[in-house]
Amino acid sequence: METEPEGAARGKWMALLAAFLGWMFDGVEIGLFPLAARPAMVELLGPGKPGSAPPIFEWIVGITAAFLVGAACGGVFFGWLGDRIGRVKAMVWSVATYSVFSGLCCFAQAPWHIGALRFLSALGMGGEWSLGVALVMEIWPANRRPILAGLIGAAANVGFLFIAALAYALSKPDLINWLGAHLTGLFPARWFTQEGQWRFLLLLGAVPAFLTFFIQIFVPESEKWKNATASAPKARVADIFTPGLSRITILGACLAGVALLGTWGSVQQATPWAAKMASAQKINKAEATAETQMCAGVGAILGTILAALLADRFNRRNVYFALALLSLVACQYLFRRIGSFGVPFLVAITLANGVTAAFYGWLPLYLPELFPTRVRATGSGFTFNSGRILAAVGSVTMALLYGGNEDYPKMCALTSLVYAPGLLLIWFCPETKGKPLPA
């Protein structure tokens, strides 16, 4: 039996590790802001005008929308860049972009500083997904794609869980006091108080910058990309809208849009909702939000891996339909039947986030199977991140309708109805199970 050369085998694992770590740190970036948003806005906005509360909720929604738009733009730009200069080189730039600008948020002096920096960091975050997915799917054999898609989808939620666990630990006086005693020579002492620790949390967003050195040195370029682009013209974004691909591109963007709007417009709001309920119940808000995010992360890790495996066991379309149906039911139950923070809420958010996040194990398996190698990163990046535009528009719209009194249950229950069109949409899409990646 012919064995795989040692260098090729090592290269596959290095590519997988780079994609996993890159998307894991993306999860850290995503999880940072929900934990830091409210204390950051409280400090930066101040007490507000006499007789009126500061527009904390409006700023949080606006910054979240800017982040989603930035991720969408970055997904298209870095996906296109990866098809032109290579997956690995473009990945280095994408990771550096999101880590540097995310870390700079800790120095913000006004809410718009955070908004601008979150937009810029999101450019790199959106690009890393499409590049990592394309690289792994091209280097690894077809029979490993389902489990790899699940792992990539789970990676972001590992990061999401990690930052939630860290925030939970920081909510305890012992750890934050210990850090303050040992790090005040490097950072301001106020960063290690309950009110100012949001700056320390956002500083952690710069950690992934070290990943760029690993990627540059150890991760091999995709041979499929090299062969496909050796004699072909350079990829253009317009290529995914040619007569043979335009329908596929639009359908893929709609599939991602359902998942992303459902996530950002509903279950992602569980963290600030938990803070509001905890405040009303006289419970520690920092602990409540961290517990909520940890439970959501656990559910999401299991859901993403399971979704990819089920898509391979059955087929892509049936699993997407099942996820949309389960997400619709779980979200309606969570936001219409749960009214206080406690064990029932934590169980419900674990289940709801498990099924809604499961799409992020399905999408990295399905989307690369729609596009030929020459435009795979561009196509995957555009379709996945176009959904972020829909999520941004939907989130802002819901906030304008229900944001005045922060009516999270009503806002999120209505937004999660987006899963209903997904039940029909998937049947217009091609089934790709058992087929090789388009050349």
What is the tens place of the pLDDT at every residue in 63-96?
Answer: 988 888 888 888 888 888 888 888 888 888 888 8
144 in Cβ contact with 391 (< 8 Å): no
The candidate with the shortest Cα–Cα distance to 249, out of 233, 260, 258, 238, is 238
What is the amino acid identity at position 433?
Answer: K
Q: Residue for token digits 């963290």?
A: 271
* Cβ pair 74, 97 in contact under 8 A: yes
> Pick from 273, 240, 271, 242: which is nearest to 385 by CA?
240
Q: What is the mean pLDDT of residues 215-238?
A: 76
pLDDT for residue 2 is more than 50:
no
- Whole-angstrom distance, CA of residue 191 vs CA of residue 200: 6
Give the rounded distance of the alpha carbon of 397 from its chain centre.
Answer: 21
- Count of residues in the chain: 439
Q: State the burial class of residue 9 (Cβ atoms within 10 Å of its Cβ: 0-12, 13-18, 19+).
A: exposed
* Mean pLDDT taken over the chain: 84
**Per mean pLDDT, which of 71-75, 353-357, 401-405 is the most reliable?**
353-357
Confidence of residue 5 (pLDDT cuts 50, 70, 90): low
Of the pLDDT bands very low, low, confident and very high (cuts 50, 70, 90), residue 268 is confident
Residue 8 confidence (pLDDT) above 70: no
Q: State yes or no: pLDDT of 432 exceeds 60.
A: yes
**b/e 325-336 (16+ beta carbons within 10 angstroms → b):** ebbbebbbebbe
CB atoms within 10 A of CB 47: 9
Determine contact, residues 373/437, Cβ cutoff 8 Å: yes
- Which among 25, 40, 35, 26 has a CA at the least distance from the CA of 199? 40
Report the C-alpha gap between 87 and 373 in whole angstroms: 11
Cα–Cα dist 427/431, whole Å: 9
Cα separation, 438 vs 264, whole angstroms: 31
Give the pLDDT confidence of 362-372 residue by residue, as tens digits: 998 898 889 88
What mean pLDDT comes out for the span 52-62? 81
Strand ranges, E, within 85-158: none
- As a whole number, mean pLDDT of residues 341-358 equals 94
pLDDT, one tens digit per residue, over 97-145 is 988 898 899 899 999 999 999 999 989 888 887 788 778 878 888 778 7
CB 29 within 8 A of CB 204: no
Low-confidence winner among 68-82, 206-220, 308-322, 347-361 (lowest mean pLDDT): 206-220
The predicted structure's pLDDT at residue 298: 92
Q: What average pLDDT does this structure show over 276-285? A: 88
Q: Which residues contact 131 (CB under 8 A, 6 or more apart)?
A: 78, 79, 82, 87, 90, 91, 94, 377, 381
CB 364 within 8 A of CB 149: yes
Pairwise CA distance, residues 154 & 56, whole Å: 31
CATH topology of domain 6-218+238-428: Growth Hormone; Chain: A; (1.20.1250)
Q: Which whole number is the average pLDDT over 175-190?
A: 74
3-state SS record for 166-205: HHHHHCCHHHHHHHHHHHCCCCCHHHHCCCCHHHHHHHHH
**How far is it between the farthest Cα atoms of the chain?**
79
Q: Supply the pTM of this predicted model.
A: 0.79
Residue (of 282, 278, 309) closest to 292 by Cα position: 278
Q: What is the pLDDT, as a whole number, of residue 51? A: 66
The pLDDT of residue 1 is 38
Q: Which residue has the higher pLDDT, 53 or 60?
A: 60
Percent of the chain surpassing pLDDT 70: 94
Give the pLDDT mean for 347-375: 90
